[in-house]
């Protein structure tokens, strides 16, 4: 029996529809949620992402403020933009589109930390990361892990006691994903490129989450029969097509549920960004 394909597009569309109602309610009390996006340089993938975020803002009724800066921008210039946005009462969420151009790679983390925690809709400041780690629910949680958890919940609401394996340990995804699954009472294993016997470990997972950025790395024999598989990877193949970190065609014959690429985690990330912006505006 083939796996249930988890339709991130339709789940995200339902989430946006619910949010549009909440935004409308907030507007009647005189608050219009505002999201500012800072795009430094002209990286094509980043431009596509930013375009999708601006489009989602329109659909939900969130006001967007786009700040396009040249690739040659200095650290000080970016700090200045962030400072102004931190102080702007019309802006409830600030997103610094990553990665930054190469000459800024060493200060990327420092720049993220200058965003006011209550406007940090990417959930990357130490304040929000700390709140997630301590299990406080008043922080802003990174969008991709949050969206991934919603996709898992769309097929299984009770995750208590399940073994979850996450391949990837980044601050942006792997670590916050582990925290969210721990809060669901899962037994969580965080694996990475240096993990020994990785295929065997993955094959023990009731929930397998792949976020490594290697096309079709996860094969069918890495998947436990009837596991839920969430594919966070997005890779462009030589033929121009997109694929995930999971070999979709073989894994779907083993898993109970599986996200496609594209159309799985991606739409949920943007929907959760809208949700974080709304949450920040409601807390204002």
Span(s) in the chain for CATH 3.40.50.10860: 30-116
**pLDDT at residue 43 above 80?**
yes
Burial class (CB in 10 A: 0-12, 13-18, 19+), 25: exposed
The residue annotated as part of the active site, out of 120, 122, 231, 245, is: 122
The overall longest dimension of the chain from CA atoms, in Å, is: 57
Omega before 254 cis (within 30°)? no
**pLDDT at residue 1 above 80?**
no
Q: How much is the average pLDDT of 88-104?
A: 96
Angle between helices 174-183 and 143-153 (to 10 degrees): 40
Residues above pLDDT 90, as percent of the chain? 94
Name the strand (E) or helix (H) holding 163.
strand 163-167
pLDDT at 193: 84
| 97 carries an active-site annotation | yes
| 122 carries an active-site annotation | yes
Name the strand (E) or helix (H) holding 96.
strand 93-96
The residue annotated as part of the active site, out of 53, 175, 252, 279, is: 53
* pLDDT tens per residue, range 156-174: 999 999 999 999 999 999 9
The residue annotated as part of the active site, out of 97, 119, 175, 224, is: 97
Span(s) in the chain for CATH 3.40.50.720: 142-266
Question: Domain 142-266 is classified in which CATH homologous superfamily?
Answer: NAD(P)-binding Rossmann-like Domain (3.40.50.720)
The CATH number corresponding to 30-116 among 3.30.70.270, 3.40.640.10, 3.40.50.10860, 3.30.465.10 equals 3.40.50.10860
**pLDDT at residue 272 above 90?**
yes
């Amino acid at each position: 029996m083939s796996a249930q394909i988890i339709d991130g597009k339709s789940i995200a569309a339902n989430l946006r529809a619910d949010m549009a109602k909440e935004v409308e309610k907030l507007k009647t009390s005189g608050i219009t949620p505002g999201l500012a996006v800072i795009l430094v340089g002209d990286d094509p993938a980043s431009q596509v992402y930013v375009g999708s975020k601006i489009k989602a803002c329109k659909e939900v009724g969130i006001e967007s403020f786009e700040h396009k800066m040249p690739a040659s921008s200095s650290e000080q210039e970016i700090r200045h933009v962030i400072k102004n946005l931190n102080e702007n009462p019309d802006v409830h969420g600030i997103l610094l589109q990553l990665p930054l151009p190469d000459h800024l790679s060493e200060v990327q983390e420092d720049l993220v930390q200058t965003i006011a925690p209550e406007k940090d809709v990417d959930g990357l400041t130490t304040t929000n990361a700390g709140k997630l780690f301590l299990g406080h629910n008043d922080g802003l949680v990174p969008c991709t892990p949050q969206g991934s958890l919603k996709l898992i919940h769309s097929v299984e609401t009770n995750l208590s006691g399940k073994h979850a394996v996450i391949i990837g340990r980044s601050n942006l995804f792997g670590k916050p994903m582990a925290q969210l699954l721990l809060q669901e009472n899962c037994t969580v294993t965080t694996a990475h490129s240096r993990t020994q016997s990785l295929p065997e470990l993955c094959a023990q997972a009731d929930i397998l989450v792949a976020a490594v950025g290697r096309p079709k790395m996860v094969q069918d024999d890495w998947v436990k029969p009837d596991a839920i598989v969430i594919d966070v990877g997005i890779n462009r193949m030589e033929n121009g097509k997109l694929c995930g970190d999971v070999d979709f065609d073989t894994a779907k014959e083993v898993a109970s549920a599986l996200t496609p690429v594209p159309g799985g985690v991606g739409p949920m990330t943007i929907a959760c960004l809208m949700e974080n912006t709304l949450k920040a505006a409601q807390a204002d």
